[in-house]
Every structure is written in structure tokens, then in C-alpha cells.
Chains A and B, each alone.
Chain A
Amino acid sequence: MPEDRPDQDSRPSPDALLQAAAQEKRGRLNVFLGAAPGVGKTYAMLEAAHVRQREGVDVVVGVVETHGREETAFLLRGLEQLPQRRVAYRDRVFNELDLDEVLKRRPQLVLVDELAHTNVPGSRHEKRYQDIEEIRAAGIDVYTALNIQHLESLNDVVAQITRVKVRETVPDSVLAQADSIEVVDIAPEDLIKRLKEGKVYVPDQAARAVHHFFAPGNLTALRELALRKAADQVDNQMLSYMQSHAIAGPWPTRDRIMACISPSPLMPRLVRTARRIAERRRAPWIVLYVETPAHDRLSDEEKTQINRALTLAEEFGAEVVTVASGNVPAEIIRQARQRNVTEIVVARSHRSRLVNRLRGTLTDRLVELGDGINIHVITGSPEAESWLDVMRARLASMSLDGLVLATAVSLAATGLVKLAEPWLPASSVPLLILMAVLLCALRYGYAAAVLSSVLTVLGYNFLFLPPLYTFTIANAENIYIFFVFLAVALITSNLTARIRAQAEAARIREARTASLYDFSRMVTGAAGEDDILWAVVHHVAALAKAQSLVLMPDQGAGAERLIIRAAYPPEDQIDDKAKIAAAWAWEKGEQAGRGTGTLPSSDWLFLPLRTAERRLGALGIRFADDRPPLGPDERRLLDALAGQAALAIERSLLNRDVEEARVSAETEKLRSALLSSISHDLRTPLASIIGGVSSLMNFDSRLDAQGRGELLQTVRDEAERLNRFVGNLLDMTRIEAGAMQPKLDWVDPEDLVATAVKRAAALTHGHDIRIDAAPDLPLLRVDYILIEQVLINLLDNAAKYSPKGSPVDVRLRRERDRILLTVTDSGSGIPPAELEQVFDMFYRVKAGDRQVAGTGLGLSICRSILKAHGGDIRAESPVAEGQTGKSPGTRMIVTLPIEEQPALPGDDRAAEEQMPHG
């Protein structure tokens, strides 16, 4: 709709608003920016802090370097100073900002000097600006100071101006995020004066550069850089303000910058330049690396150059893209078109001028292909791109064995052809020799192919071209043949070697894909969480040729602490540093540990295990010490593995959730059965009790002695029943809660039966309980109270389910290594199909409409108790033997193990003496 247009135009940009919202919760960052050391940044910062303190702000000093300057030290007075962390490193003690102390103290504003400072190895973060990030994330404002020469993107420029290369750098993004920048500015002449007065602290190592550094021209240039940077920042803030307030303005066109990485020492400059261009244009930028089949042939140094460049780009906030292709220029242009790139930045090729002539430079090809795309070419100083160094590095990475074998094969082949020459047509000789060259190219690679070409050509000349056995060539035709042979040998061998390299690269890629596929199959096939974790560590360890482990939060301990859940090779402990790195990866969802920006001194690299839904834990990898840093390919593979692993683990967690839901539904069912049972079994005896007692209270005069007695008996019996029921409920609760721990003690089974029968007397009222115990039964090691409970339950059941007046038999027997205790009644019995079910909770035999009070709890409790004693209980019905009545009856058979009998006092009876009879 047309009327939508203006509305859309004046709508604030969501990105800008989001950023503003994030900024609001974070602590504010105020940077005191200086052009050079000694301009008085720290002094200005402390002055500002005093002003804030007078305003009532809670200010503390995290770390401030006075460099022995009195004015500065004077200003420190009256400000609270936090204790610093003393760290010993290489026999020296360093004072470092105590990050935890700051976070614990939680001031409103903290002063942290020297933004570019690098922490002592072993600190939580490698760089101080990372410490500051964390402080700000906690909502604490930070004042800090920075010299312009430490800014990453200006690093090279400053080095060119001053010839002093600063090693400690701060990513531009840190300064870009600053809420305000105060330029601490003094005129170069004044600074030089201060230097002469000794008021400028100069680090020892820079002393010799000082003279040059503090030249008026340099200082003016640095001053301009600092002021321009600050102005840029103001510009950015203005832009951001305009965006978030939907002020229409002259927007810059959406440029897109793409930097192309290649193995070259120029890479850091390439990345920084691209960053500067992107920043100036306020354009998004991309860093692209096209991995060619030749990538695997690169020397370690070259690989490192590429990795560093990619890491640097990531640090700068570029979008980093790595693609695989054989044709670099075409791929670059393809990617550029796909992403609407307007400018491409490349480094000048370091290949020799000759090769460039022959094959054309990358730049030429890009210019040719990239219609409408601007190409920037970075050039370097001559020593930085000496191709000889590069070739030397490449040669160093070649295998000497391949060259030796290639020499042997070439010479042997030439010799053999010479021997066979009489039987061969002359025209086939060079072709046969060429075969040897191809073989070398195929087997031993590019360098071997070139060597083989040269050797065979020389051999051909020596053995076949007249004059024979000399390296001279007589006639012009043969010279022509010689060169054609050489050209053919070089070209074919080169082609073959390239095919080989591509095949090799394809094989490696194929192996990686297969490995990833294997992994996903293995992990998908794994049944439980533990199996998955095991598969993960096993596979990662095999793939990365390193030790691997998975950490996940401890389920029990409030999910605060990570514990090792699986490791291969097995490991149950990691040091504190690794633990912190793991926690970092887990909590922040970023890589931490070795080779990353956080805790790089740890032995372990930790990758976060997370899905869109939840943070699951961390995957740790410990490489052998001498291993070069990971390449982009390996990193990608590891990331993919971590992603797969996280998905698999989440799947198993979801399975567990589903299982838990099922169990809880089951529990719910049980609970409702319990409730209905309670309402029935509590109310039935209560009805008898209340009814009986109210009769006695209200109609006492109408009752005769017998009626009164019967009512009283009923009240008492039912109260006893209620008591048993409550007891059973309590027992069941205890069993369910896992709190039933038998207190084992030696018990005389006969005594136990006698006591139980006595206690059950009120329940078995009206039944004749007959006890039959075998003599000399061994002692049992059981919980007296619990086993007595079992017996009382059985007696209660026997009485309940058999007719009044019928006998109940209790028998105690020994059978091999166990005691058999049976309780037999002559009731209606249990249907055969339900003999096992009676031990389920809330089971009750339905006997028509004859509902007998009591719950299905009793027998289930009995079984739990007996199982806890290593015994068991089963039911028999109809009773097999010893039953005289006509009804089937029920026999409950309890078995309890007989343990090794305890030591008893010496046979007392042997020492029996005649009692003194007075």
C-alpha cells in the first residue's frame, strides 16, 4: 500500500533499538583516549572519578598505574582502592585486576587503567578489555584509558609513522562500543617538555625507540589519528541516534566489502585495511577464504598465516566465510555476486614475476571477471613478500622420500628403455619415458613430478639424442625434440600432480564427511544418554587424535556445577583452569580454553554443547602439546560434531522427559487409587466407632449389658483396625520414599512369632491361632519390628478372609539355608490367576458383594519388607496339604535367608553347676 511507505521510512531501525536496549542494562564504558603516553590520561580519569564521587556515585579503583607520578598518586587519595590479584609468573610477581573482587564489591563505577593491557598467562581472560566486558555485563560502569597506537586497525599505520610496533592491541569494536570517549589532548611541544622533565613513564623495552617516537612530527600525526578516531565515534553515535529515532537522513549506500585471504605475510594488513574501509563506509564486511585442493600442500607457516587472519577477522566482527573450490578467482567473484559485494580487497601475489606473467595474477583475473566490483590491492614492503622465503618454506614441507623415490624411478625407467631400445620403434621411446614421469607425478606429487621431468629429459638427451652419452645436442631438430619433450613432461606431470592433489583433497573431505556421517549414525543408534556421551567422546577422540570429554551440569547439585560425564581416554579430573574454561563455554555458549580468547593457557579447548532450546554442557578436547593450532576445516568439523552431539543429547533428554511424564502419570493413577482406598478404609471403621459410641452415649438406658458389651467390643476392634491401617499407610509412605532401612539384629524366630501373635490378638479375635515351631531353629538377622509387621499383616488377612471361629495355623520350619514361615487359613482362597496380583498395591480379591474392610496395601508392604531382607513371600491356594476343612484356604509362605550364626558364649550348660541350695 502506498501510504505504508512513509511510515516504514520513519520507523526506527530495530537493530538500533535492540542495541540501545542492550546498552542500557550494561555498564557504561568511558574511554580516556590519548595520542601518546604521558598526555595525562590517568590523571584526567582520576579527576573525572573525583567529580563523580562528589556527585554521590559509588566509585572504586580497580587498577590504576601511577608510574610513580606524584600528582597522579595524590589524586588516588580519597578513592577506595580494591585489592589487586598477585600472580606469580616466571619467578616474578604481577599485580593484576581482581575481576572477582570487582564483581563481588559491585560499585557503580570502577576505574580500570590501561585498556590494552595483556593479562598474565593463567588469568581468566587473555586481555584486560575482556575483563572490562565482563564487568560491564554485570551492569557496572567502567572508566578506562587507552593510547591510540594500541588500536588494532591503526596498529600498522602507527607503526609506519613511528617505526615502533606495539604488540598489545585492542579490537576496534571495543572502542566502538564505548558510550563516550574523552580525548586527553596536549600540544606536542608540551608533551616533549614533560618528557624532558621526566614526567612521562617510558617502559624500559621502548627506551631506545623513545627518541624517535616523541618526535614532533610523530606526535602531531598521532594526535590527528586520535582526534579523528574520536570524531568518527561521534559520527557513529550520531548515526545510531538518527537510526534509533527514525530521523531520515542521507544514508550511505549499502556497500559491502569482501577481503580475500591467501597465504601471505600481508594478511593482518589485508584484514585491518578491509576493516578500515568497511568502517569508513559504515558497510558490513566479509572475509573469504577459498580453500583450494592445494591447501593441504601449504607449509605449516602458511596455514598459520591463514588461521591468524581468519581469527583476526572474527575478532574484528567480520563475517567469515570459507568455501572450497579449485578456481580461486571465479569462486571469489561468484561469492561476491551472491553477497552483493561492492569492493574486494586482495593482497598482491607473492609469486615470482615470471609465474605471474605466465599464469596471470589473481588481481588480473579478478579485474577481468568482476564487472562493476572495485578491487583494492594491498602491497607490502619487499622483505615482507620475498617469494624465496615462501618457496623455502614450501620446500621444507615437501617430503624428501618422495624426491628420492622419484629420482630412482626416473633413472631406472630411462635405463630400462635404453636396454630395450633395439626392440622398440624409435618413436615410442619418449612416450615410454614420459610414462615414468606421469607415474612419479601420480605417486609423489608436484615437486617429484618436476624433478622427474628434468631428470628424464636429461637422461633422454644423454642416452638417445646424438651425440650419444653427452649432454650436447648436435642438430637443430633434436634441440626442438628436447624442448618439446621437456614441455610435455612438465605440463603432463603438473596436470597429473594436480589431479592427484585434488583426489587427495577429495579423499580427505570424503573421509571427514564419512566420519561425520558415522558419528551421526552412531549417536542416533545409541540408546541412552550414557551411550550417546560415550559415542561422542570416543568419536571426537579418534577424529581429533586427542583426548576428549563431555561435561554436563550435575543434576543433583542445583545444576550449578559441571561434572565429567564421559571421557576418552578415561579421565575423572581436570584442573581448575580447565573447569573455568568449561563453565565459560557452557554458560556463554562460546569456545573457551586453548587457542581461543578466553583462558588460552588451559590445556583444554572447550566447545559449547547447545541447541536452540538449551545449554547442555561443554565438549572438551586436549591435543598433544606439539600439535599446530586447528585449521578452519578442523574447526568446522569440530563445530559440526559438537552440534550433532548436542542434538543427540537433547534428544535423549527429551526421551527422558517423556519417560518421566509417563512415570508421573502412573504415579498419579496410583495416588487416586490410594485416595479412594483411604476414603473407604478410613470411613468404614470410623462409621462403626462413631455409631457405636453415639449409641452408648444417647441410648445407654435402652441397652442391656450384652448389647453394651458388643458395641464396646466393636468400637475397640475397629479402632485397632484403623490403627493398623494408619500403620500400613505410614509404612507404604516410608517404602515409597526409599526411607525403609531395615535395622538388622539377631532375632529368635520363635520369639518373633509369639510376640506377633500376641500383638495381633485384637485383630484375630474369634480365631484360634495355632503355633507350630520346629525345635532349635537358628537365629535370623532381620529387623524385628518390620518382620513382626509382616506377620501381623498376614494374621490380620487370615482372620479377615476366613470364617469366624476357624483356626489359623502358623508354622516355622527350616529348609536348607532358609526359614520357612507359613500362615494358613481355611477361607475361600484366592483364584489361581490372582495369586501373584495380591501383592500389587491396592489389590483386593473381589468376593461378590462381600466387601471386607482393609486395603490392598498389606501384602504389597510385606513383599517390600521381605525383599529388603533378601527373602520373599508367595501365596498358595488351594492349600496343598495339611488342610482338613472343605474350603480351599490360603497359605502365605514367607522365606527368610539364614545367615552365618553369630558367636555365642561358650556352652553355658556344660558349665552348669548345681545351684547352691542354701
Chain B
Amino acid sequence: MADGAKILVIDDEPQIRRYLRVSLEAHDFHILEAAGGQEGLRLAALEKPDLVVLDLGLPDMDGQAVIARLREWSAVPVVVLSVRADEADKIAALDAGADDYVTKPFGTGELLARIRAALRHTVGSSTGQAVFETGGLRVDLEKRQVSLRGAPVKLSPKEYDLLKLLVQHAGKVLTHQFILRQVWGPAHESDVQYLRVFARQLRQKIETDAAQPKLLLTEPGVGYRLAME
């Protein structure tokens, strides 16, 4: 049901709202607009949108606060718009409950991919799709089997845990902290070096060209994302 979904855009810049409305309506989304955090929260409660696109720099209240307030009563997916310099802001937004982010300036294609990933996640995650396929990579979560273009791939248990986590959240950015906590446990939350080494090992096994990865993508300063087709 991705297309035709109701999207609430909260941004104080009218020209950004106009650009988003035109571009997203062209892809059959239904757009609601709010110019501030308060108005956005009210619309979110009244209209029950399927997804919220939220600008972090709002004049009336802090974007992080909007997410926190929203998360008090709603699980609606939130995609955050932010500027490049604020990696810490992005992580804070993700920690507060945002599902993904796009860095300004961004292309329409990039935003659409994020929106679709976030929407699909809410739609299909609980059904527990057992088999995941992208770019020649096939992961069978039930049988714990991984193959690249038909050839089986041998993974160590941790490599598999890492890949499984990424597959479960395919298309979404996962912060370093989140991955480390899930795979290595809370004690290793800040050991980014583990992640760097295992990401390299994993890339060598699942990427066609590890030097120019197409599947396991680095989100600078934030985390990793498994690309979807």
C-alpha cells in the first residue's frame, strides 16, 4: 500500500513544502502540510498519517521534541530532514524514535527510497519474511543460509548476526550504537572498531567489489544501511 499513503510534511520553509508536495503527489502520495511543530503534532493526531517527514530545524519547537512527543502515542514512521553538519543531531533523532533521515540538499529519488523503506517496514516487518533478496544476495533467515548469485557464502556467527540485523531493517539506517548493542551486547556499544572490521569482512564475502560496495553502505558518522533494490 506504499503508494497512495498519507504523508504529513512538517517544515517551516514554504518552498521546501511546495517541492515535496509536487514531487510526492506525482508518486500518488497524499500530502498534508504543517509549518511548525505544534501544528504538525495536531495534524498527526487528527489525520493519522501513514508517515511523517519532519524538518529538524523548526522555529516553534525543537525537532527532537516533536519526535519524542509523537512517540508518546504513535508508532508512525518518521523520516527526518537535516543538514549535513549535524551528525549528532541525526543520531539523536534516530535514538528518539525517527526511522530514517535524508540530508539536505537531497534528490527526490533518495527521499522516495527512504519513504518507501520506512512504509514497507511498518507494513511487512511483523509478517517475518523468511527470505530476503537484493542485488544477487539471498538470505534465508529461517534456514540461516546465505548465497551470492547462487553460490553459498560462509559466514562466522557474528558476521551472520550482523547481516541478519541489517536484513531485518533493510533499507533503513542503523546507528553504530544500535548495531553494536544488538550484535555484541550493551557492553560494546562504543566499540566502533568491531563494526569497521566486521563490515569489511562481510563486504568481502557479500559484495561483488568490496572496494566499491553496493549493498552494505556506510552512512558517514551515523551508521550502516543495507541497500534495497
Residue positions of A touching B, CB distance < 8 A? 719, 723, 727, 730, 743, 745-748, 750-755, 757-758, 771, 773, 779, 784-785, 788, 901-905, 908-909, 911-918
Considering the chains assembled together, what is the distance between the CA atoms of A122 and B163 in angstroms? 76
Cβ–Cβ contact B193 & A917, under 8 A: no
Known: A785-B220, A908-B159, A915-B144. A757 touches B193 (CB 8 A): no
Q: Does B1 contact A (CB under 8 A)?
A: no
Cβ–Cβ contact B196 & A746, under 8 A: yes
Cβ–Cβ contact A746 & B145, under 8 A: no
Q: What distance in Å separates the Cβ of A566 from its nearest Cβ neighbour in chain B?
A: 42
Residues 129-179 (chain B) with a chain A CB within 8 angstroms: 143-146, 154-160
Cβ–Cβ contact B212 & A905, under 8 A: no
Cβ–Cβ contact B196 & A785, under 8 A: no
Cβ–Cβ contact A915 & B194, under 8 A: no
At the interface, is chain B mostly helix, strand, loop or mixed? mixed
Q: Which residues of chain A come closer than 8 Å to B145, judged between CB atoms?
A: 915, 917-918
Q: Which residues of chain A come closer than 8 Å to B218, judged between CB atoms?
A: 751-752, 754-755
* Closest B residue, CB atoms, query A901: B193
* Closest B residue, CB atoms, query A716: B107
Cβ–Cβ contact B156 & A911, under 8 A: yes
Instruction: Give the contacting residue for B220; candidates A746, A755, A908, A918; CB below 8 A.
Output: A755
Considering the chains assembled together, what is the distance between the CA atoms of A358 and B47 in angstroms? 122
Number of interface residues of B (CB under 8 A): 34
Considering the chains assembled together, what is the distance between the CA atoms of A751 and B216 in angstroms? 10
Considering the chains assembled together, what is the distance between the CA atoms of A773 and B191 in angstroms? 24
Question: Which residue, of B87, B146, B221, has the highest number of chain A Cβ atoms within 10 A?
Answer: B221
Cβ–Cβ contact A747 & B85, under 8 A: no
Known: A723-B105, A771-B212, A785-B221. A751 touches B158 (CB 8 A): no
Q: What distance in Å separates the Cβ of B186 from its nearest Cβ neighbour in chain A?
A: 15
Task: Known pairs A730-B85, A902-B191, A908-B156; list 13 more (Cβ under 8 Å).
Answer: A746-B193, A747-B196, A750-B200, A750-B210, A751-B213, A758-B212, A773-B211, A904-B197, A908-B198, A908-B201, A913-B156, A916-B144, A918-B143
Q: Does B84 contact A (CB under 8 A)?
A: yes
Cβ–Cβ contact B196 & A748, under 8 A: yes
Q: Does B43 contact A (CB under 8 A)?
A: no
Considering the chains assembled together, what is the distance between the CA atoms of A207 and B201 in angstroms? 102
Q: What distance in Å separates the Cβ of B47 from its nearest Cβ neighbour in chain A?
A: 33
Q: Which residues of chain B come closer than 8 Å to A911, judged between CB atoms?
A: 156-157
Known: A788-B220, A902-B193. A909 touches B156 (CB 8 A): yes
Cβ–Cβ contact B143 & A917, under 8 A: yes
Considering the chains assembled together, what is the distance between the CA atoms of A755 and B84 in angstroms? 15
Considering the chains assembled together, what is the distance between the CA atoms of A908 and B191 in angstroms? 16
Cβ–Cβ contact B192 & A746, under 8 A: yes
Q: Which residues of chain A come closer than 8 Å to B200, judged between CB atoms?
A: 748, 750-751
Q: Which residues of chain A come closer than 8 Å to B105, judged between CB atoms?
A: 719, 723
Q: Which residues of chain A come closer than 8 Å to B159, judged between CB atoms?
A: 908
Cβ–Cβ contact B194 & A905, under 8 A: yes
Cβ–Cβ contact B193 & A904, under 8 A: yes
Q: What distance in Å separates the Cβ of B132 from its nearest Cβ neighbour in chain A?
A: 16
Q: Which residues of chain B come closer than 8 Å to A914, judged between CB atoms?
A: 154
* Closest A residue, CB atoms, query B104: A723
Q: Does B199 contact A (CB under 8 A)?
A: yes
Q: Which residues of chain A come closer than 8 Å to B29, judged between CB atoms?
A: none
Cβ–Cβ contact A784 & B221, under 8 A: yes
* Closest B residue, CB atoms, query A756: B220
Q: Which residues of chain A come closer than 8 Å to B85, judged between CB atoms?
A: 730
Cβ–Cβ contact A754 & B156, under 8 A: no
Cβ–Cβ contact A785 & B87, under 8 A: yes
Cβ–Cβ contact A754 & B212, under 8 A: yes
Considering the chains assembled together, what is the distance between the CA atoms of A918 and B146 in angstroms? 12
Q: Which residues of chain B come closer than 8 Å to A745, judged between CB atoms?
A: 192
* Closest B residue, CB atoms, query A720: B105
Interface string of B213-229 (1 = CB under 8 A from A): 10001101100000000
Cβ–Cβ contact B160 & A915, under 8 A: yes
Cβ–Cβ contact A905 & B84, under 8 A: no
Q: Which residues of chain A come closer than 8 Å to B160, judged between CB atoms?
A: 915
Instruction: Give the contacting residue for A915; candidates B87, B155, B158; CB below 8 A.
Output: B155
Q: Which residues of chain B come closer than 8 Å to A915, judged between CB atoms?
A: 144-146, 154-155, 160
Considering the chains assembled together, what is the distance between the CA atoms of A754 and B193 in angstroms? 18
Question: Which residue, of B146, B193, B198, B217, has the highest number of chain A Cβ atoms within 10 A?
Answer: B193
Cβ–Cβ contact B212 & A748, under 8 A: no
Considering the chains assembled together, what is the distance between the CA atoms of A748 and B195 in angstroms? 10
Question: Which residue, of A719, A784, A915, has the highest number of chain B Cβ atoms within 10 A?
Answer: A915
Cβ–Cβ contact B196 & A771, under 8 A: no
Cβ–Cβ contact B211 & A904, under 8 A: no
Q: Which residues of chain A come closer than 8 Å to B213, judged between CB atoms?
A: 751, 754
Cβ–Cβ contact B158 & A908, under 8 A: yes
Instruction: Give the contacting residue for B196; candidates A751, A753, A788, A917; CB below 8 A.
Output: A751
Q: Which residues of chain B come closer than 8 Å to A913, judged between CB atoms?
A: 156-157
Interface string of B18-56 (1 = CB under 8 A from A): 000000000000000000000000000000000000000
Considering the chains assembled together, what is the distance between the CA atoms of A784 and B199 in angstroms? 15
By Cβ-Cβ distance, the 9 closest A-B pairs, closest first, are: A746-B193, A902-B193, A908-B156, A748-B196, A912-B156, A918-B143, A755-B218, A785-B221, A771-B211
Considering the chains assembled together, what is the distance between the CA atoms of A788 and B103 in angstroms? 16
* Closest A residue, CB atoms, query B160: A915
Q: Which residues of chain B come closer than 8 Å to A773, judged between CB atoms?
A: 211
Considering the chains assembled together, what is the distance between the CA atoms of A747 and B184 in angstroms? 18
Q: What distance in Å separates the Cβ of B89 from its nearest Cβ neighbour in chain A?
A: 13
Q: What distance in Å separates the Cβ of B102 from its nearest Cβ neighbour in chain A?
A: 14
Q: What distance in Å separates the Cβ of A753 from its nearest Cβ neighbour in chain B?
A: 8
Q: What distance in Å separates the Cβ of A758 from its nearest Cβ neighbour in chain B?
A: 8
Considering the chains assembled together, what is the distance between the CA atoms of A903 and B84 in angstroms? 31
Question: Which residue, of A751, A753, A757, has the highest number of chain B Cβ atoms within 10 A?
Answer: A751
Considering the chains assembled together, what is the distance between the CA atoms of A773 and B194 in angstroms? 21
- CB-defined A-B contacts under 8 Å, sample of 18: A719-B105, A727-B84, A745-B192, A746-B193, A748-B200, A754-B212, A754-B213, A755-B217, A755-B218, A757-B212, A771-B211, A784-B221, A908-B198, A909-B201, A913-B156, A915-B146, A915-B160, A916-B144
Considering the chains assembled together, what is the distance between the CA atoms of A458 and B102 in angstroms? 116
* Closest B residue, CB atoms, query A719: B105
Q: Which residues of chain A come closer than 8 Å to B158, judged between CB atoms?
A: 905, 908
Q: What distance in Å separates the Cβ of A896 from its nearest Cβ neighbour in chain B?
A: 15
Q: Which residues of chain B come closer than 8 Å to A753, judged between CB atoms?
A: 211
Q: What distance in Å separates the Cβ of A791 from its nearest Cβ neighbour in chain B?
A: 11
Considering the chains assembled together, what is the distance between the CA atoms of A909 and B157 in angstroms? 9
Q: Which residues of chain B come closer than 8 Å to A758, judged between CB atoms?
A: 212
Q: Which residues of chain A come closer than 8 Å to B201, judged between CB atoms?
A: 908-909
Q: What distance in Å separates the Cβ of A772 from its nearest Cβ neighbour in chain B?
A: 8
Q: What distance in Å separates the Cβ of B144 from its nearest Cβ neighbour in chain A?
A: 6
Considering the chains assembled together, what is the distance between the CA atoms of A912 and B200 in angstroms? 16
Q: Which residues of chain A come closer than 8 Å to B211, judged between CB atoms?
A: 750, 753-754, 771, 773
Interface string of B78-121 (1 = CB under 8 A from A): 00000011010000000000000000010000000000000000
Considering the chains assembled together, what is the distance between the CA atoms of A917 and B152 in angstroms? 11
Q: What distance in Å separates the Cβ of A147 from its nearest Cβ neighbour in chain B?
A: 71
Considering the chains assembled together, what is the distance between the CA atoms of A751 and B143 in angstroms? 30
Q: Which residues of chain B come closer than 8 Å to A771, judged between CB atoms?
A: 211-212
Q: Which residues of chain B come closer than 8 Å to A788, judged between CB atoms?
A: 220
Cβ–Cβ contact B197 & A779, under 8 A: yes
* Closest B residue, CB atoms, query A912: B156
Considering the chains assembled together, what is the distance between the CA atoms of A904 and B213 in angstroms? 23
Q: Which residues of chain B come closer than 8 Å to A723, judged between CB atoms?
A: 105
Q: Which residues of chain A come closer than 8 Å to B84, judged between CB atoms?
A: 727
Q: What distance in Å separates the Cβ of B205 from its nearest Cβ neighbour in chain A?
A: 11
Considering the chains assembled together, what is the distance between the CA atoms of A650 and B84 in angstroms? 48
Considering the chains assembled together, what is the distance between the CA atoms of A905 and B198 in angstroms? 10
Q: What distance in Å separates the Cβ of A576 from its nearest Cβ neighbour in chain B?
A: 43
Considering the chains assembled together, what is the distance between the CA atoms of A743 and B221 in angstroms? 9
* Closest B residue, CB atoms, query A758: B212
Q: What distance in Å separates the Cβ of A333 from its nearest Cβ neighbour in chain B?
A: 84
Q: Which residues of chain A come closer than 8 Å to B217, judged between CB atoms?
A: 755
* Closest A residue, CB atoms, query B142: A918
Cβ–Cβ contact A751 & B154, under 8 A: no
Q: Which residues of chain B come closer than 8 Å to A901, judged between CB atoms?
A: 193
